[in-house]
Chain A
Amino acid sequence: MARSLFYIIVFPGFIFLSLAGVIVEYIDRILYARFQNRQGPPWFQPVADFIKLLSKECIIPEEAEPRLFSALPLVALTAAVTAILYVPLWNANALFSFEGDLVIVIYLLTLPTITFFLAGWNSTSLYAMIGSVRTLTQLFAYEVPLFMGILAPTILAETWSLSGLVRYYGVHPWYILFNIPAFIVSLIAIQGKLEKVPFDIPEAETEIVGGTFTEYSGRLLAYFRMAIDIEMVVCASLLSAVFFPFGMRLGHAAGFALYAVKVLCMVFLFAIIRSLFARLRIDQMVSFCWKYLAPLALFQIALNFILKGILN
C-alpha cells in the first residue's frame, strides 16, 4: 500500500512527472524558439507560468456545470499520470504490468482528449464548443492510425504487455528496424494527441481564440496545461519504450540517463515537426490521416505478419 502510494505520488508518479513535464515544456519551447531564430524563454519560465496561473482568479462561466468544470482538469491530470505506471522506463519491468497493459496505456492517453472535449462543450462558449467539436473530429482521425502504429510491433513480440514487448526486443534488438514505418505513423499521430502544429486545430488561436480552453482560467487552466505537459512526457516515454527498447539492462544510473536521452530525442522530433509545418484545416487533417497514415500503419501490420512467418 505505502509502496503503491509512493509510486503514484512521488516516483514515477505525480511529483516526478510534474518536474519532468516542466523540464520537457522548457526544452520544447527553447528548441522551438531556436528553430525559429528566437531567443526563447529562460529556464524557469514554465514554472513561473504555472505559479502565476495558480495565483490568478478562476472564473467559471455561469451556464457551465461548476463541478464538472472544476473536475475535468483533474481527471485529465490523473489519467496522464496513471498512464506512466505501465510504461517501462529504463528496465524491462514497468511498475505494474499485465498482459494487455499497452491497450490500457493508450486508453488512459485518450482520456485527456475526452476531457478536453467535455471541457469545451461544458463551457458553453461558441469558440470552446467549436474547439471541442474539432477535438473529437480530430480524435477519430488520428486515434486509429496511432493504435495500429503502436500495436504493430506487438505482432512480432506476440504480447500486448509493454514489459513483454521490451523483453522481446531486448533479445532481438535489430528487429526494431522493421518498425520504422509504424514509428513515423505514431510520431505524426501523437502530434494530434498533443494538439501541436500541424494538428493544433482545436486550439487554433487565430481562428477560435483559445479553442476548448477559451473559458478556462487560473488554476484550472494551469492543471490542464500541466496535464498536456505530462501527456507529452508519457507519449515520449511510450514511443521510446515501444520503438526503441534497447539498453534496458544498464542498471539504474546509466539506464536513467539513456531514458532521459531518448525522451529528449522524442521532444526534439516533436519540436522539429512543430516548426516545419503550417496548421492544416480539419478536413485536410482527417483526409491526411485516413489517406496516408492509416494505409501506412496497415502496411506495417501486414509486413509484421509476413516477417513473423519468416522469422519464427
Chain B
Amino acid sequence: MGKVTIPIGPQHPALKEPESFAVTLDGEKIVSMVANLGYNHRGVEKACEGRTYTQALYLIERICGICSHTHSTCFIQAVEEIAALEVPKRGLYIRTIVAELERMHSHLLWLGVAGHEIGFDTLLMYSWRDREAVMDLLALLTGNRVHYGMNVLGGSKRDISPEQAKQILKVMDVLEERTKYYIQVATEEVTLIKRLAKVGTLSHDDAVKLGAVGPTARASNVDRDTRRDDPYAAYAEVPFKVITDGHNDVYGRTLVRVGELMESYKMVRHLVKNLPEGPIAVKAPRKVGPGEAVSRYEAPRGEDVHYVKANGTEKPERVKVRAPTLANVQAVAKMLENGYLADIPIVIAAIDPCFSCTDRTTFAVKNPDGKAAGFIDWKSLREYSIKWHKNNGVDFSKMRIKIK
C-alpha cells in the first residue's frame, strides 16, 4: 500500500461531533493531517444580539452540553461587570460549587471517552457509572442534569439547603474513593500506559507558542489556571493546587485531569462548609450599559473567554465567545507529528474537544444585493462591515488592507 489519505469525519465512530480530518498515511504512520471545522455553526452570537440579556443567558448556556455553566457564568460575569452589579457572596459560592461539580462530571466523562478511544470499554462503563453520582447531585441542586439554569443576572437562581449540603458532602466521599481507584488504574494498568505514554507529545515551548490552554497546557508544565491567576466567583477564597505534569503526552493529560478531580472534591467540601449566609442574588436592571467587558473563566477544557458589548438597551450589541477548544485545536496537528493512525482518536480526544462550542467561524448573512442567504466572500464581507459601521458613525472605508 502506498500513501493513502483517509477521511476521519465528518461522520466517524471516534468522533462525537461532526468535524473532519483528512489524514495522509504511509502504512500506519501519519504523514500529514488537515483539520476542517465548521460543521456545527449555529449562529449563537448573532442570535444573542436579538434577545434580552435574560433570554441570551439561556441561549448562551446551550452553546455546550458539557460546560453549560461555564458559558453562562462567563457571559453573566461580563454583563455584571458592565452593569456594575455587586453579586452577594452566597450567590458566588453557589456558582462556584456548580462550576466545580461541572468540572467533575466533565473530567469523568473525558476519562470514559479516552478509555473508549483506546478500546478500553470497561473504563468507559465504570467512569460513566460514577459520573451519574455527580449528575444526580446536579439534578438535585439545580433541577436539571445538563443545562442547569443556575445563573441569573445578579446572583444565583436557587439556594442550597442544609440537607442538600449534606448530600453534596456524602457524594464527594464516594467520588473521592472511586477517583483514587482510577488513579491506581491509570498508574498501574500496563496496556493503558502503553497506549497513553509518549503519545501526542506537546513540548512545553510548543504548548506556550501554540497557545494551548487548560489541562492540555498544564500537562506540558505550563503553570496557568484562570481560577488562580485571575480569580472570579469565589475562587479567591478557596485554597487549591494547580495540577501540572511534566509528561507532555496524553498520559500526562490523564494524570492532570484525575488530579484536578481530587482538587475539585476538596474545593467543593471547603465551599459547602464555609457557605456564607445572606441573599443569593441582587435585583438587576433590565437595561445594561453602555460599556463593554471581557470575562475569563477556567472551563474544564481550558480558558473560556466571552466579550460583551452593551449599548444601554435591554439587548447586547455584540457577544463574542472564544471556547477553549479553539485554543487547543491548533496543537493537535503538532501532537500528531510522527504519530500512528491508531493514536489519532486518543490524541484528538485528549484535548477534550468540543467542536460545537468552537464552531463560530462561518458567517452566513444576506448577500449585499439582498437576494439570497448564503456564504459571502472576504471582499463583500468587508464591504458589508464598512457599510454597517458607517451606519453606526464610524468610517472604515479609508483603511486599506490587502485582500488576497
Contacts and interface: CB of A to CB of B under 8 A. Distances in A.
Interface of A: 35-38, 126-127, 129-130, 133-134, 197-198, 200-201, 204-209, 275-284
Given A129-B1, A198-B119, A281-B342, 13 more contacts: A129-B4, A130-B1, A130-B4, A206-B13, A206-B116, A207-B342, A209-B12, A277-B191, A278-B123, A279-B119, A279-B120, A280-B195, A281-B343
A30 to B, nearest CB: 14
Contacts of A204: 119, 342
5 contacts: A37-B125, A130-B4, A279-B118, A282-B28, A284-B195
Nearest to B340: A281
Contact of A205 (B13, B122, B343, B344): B13
Contacts of B289: none
Contact of B122 (A200, A209, A276): A276
A283 B120 CA distance: 18
B126 interface: yes
Given A130-B6, A206-B13, A278 B192 contact: yes
Contacts of A197: 119-121
A275 B120 CA distance: 7
Nearest to B15: A206
Contacts of B14: 205-207
Contacts of B245: none
Contacts of B1: 129-130, 133
A126 B6 contact: yes
Interface string B119-134: 1111101100100000
Contacts of B189: 277-278
A58 to B, nearest CB: 22
Contacts of B121: 36, 197, 275
A198 B342 contact: no
Nearest to A199: B119
A198 B13 CA distance: 19
B349 to A, nearest CB: 9
Nearest to A207: B342
Contacts of A282: 28, 340, 342
Residue with the greatest number of chain A CB neighbours at <10 A, chosen from B27, B191, B192: B191
A138 to B, nearest CB: 12
B18 interface: no
Contacts of B25: 130
B119 A278 contact: yes
A284 B118 CA distance: 13
A37 B123 CA distance: 10
Contacts of A35: 122
B115 interface: yes
Interface in B91-131: 115-123, 125-126, 129
B379 interface: no
B129 A37 contact: yes
Contacts of A276: 122
Contacts of A280: 191, 194-195
Contacts of B195: 278-281, 284
A205 B118 CA distance: 10
Nearest to B29: A283
A41 B385 CA distance: 58
Nearest to A210: B13
A36 B125 contact: yes
B345 interface: yes
Nearest to B195: A278
A150 to B, nearest CB: 24
Nearest to A275: B122
A273 to B, nearest CB: 11
B341 interface: yes
A283 B340 contact: yes
A277 B191 CA distance: 6
Interface string B251-277: 000000000000000000000000000
Contacts of A275: 121-122
A281 B341 CA distance: 9
A277 B25 CA distance: 27
Nearest to A282: B28
Q: Which 6 A-B pairs have the closest CB atoms?
A: A279-B119, A278-B120, A36-B125, A206-B14, A278-B191, A206-B345
Contacts of A209: 12-13
Contact of A283 (B13, B28, B125, B344): B28
A205 B129 CA distance: 22
Contacts of B194: 278, 280-281, 284
Contact of B344 (A36, A134, A201, A207): A207
A130 B116 contact: no
B341 A278 contact: no
Residue with the greatest number of chain B CB neighbours at <10 A, chosen from A279, A282, A283: A279
Contact of A208 (B27, B118, B191, B341): B341
A248 B194 CA distance: 42
Interface in B118-164: 118-123, 125-126, 129
A1 B27 CA distance: 49
A126 B4 contact: yes
A206 B125 CA distance: 16
B125 A200 contact: no
Given A278-B189, A279-B195, A283-B28, A37 B341 contact: no
A36 B116 CA distance: 13
B126 A37 contact: yes
Nearest to A38: B125
Interface in B1-33: 1, 4, 6, 12-14, 25, 27-28
A153 to B, nearest CB: 28
Contacts of B123: 278
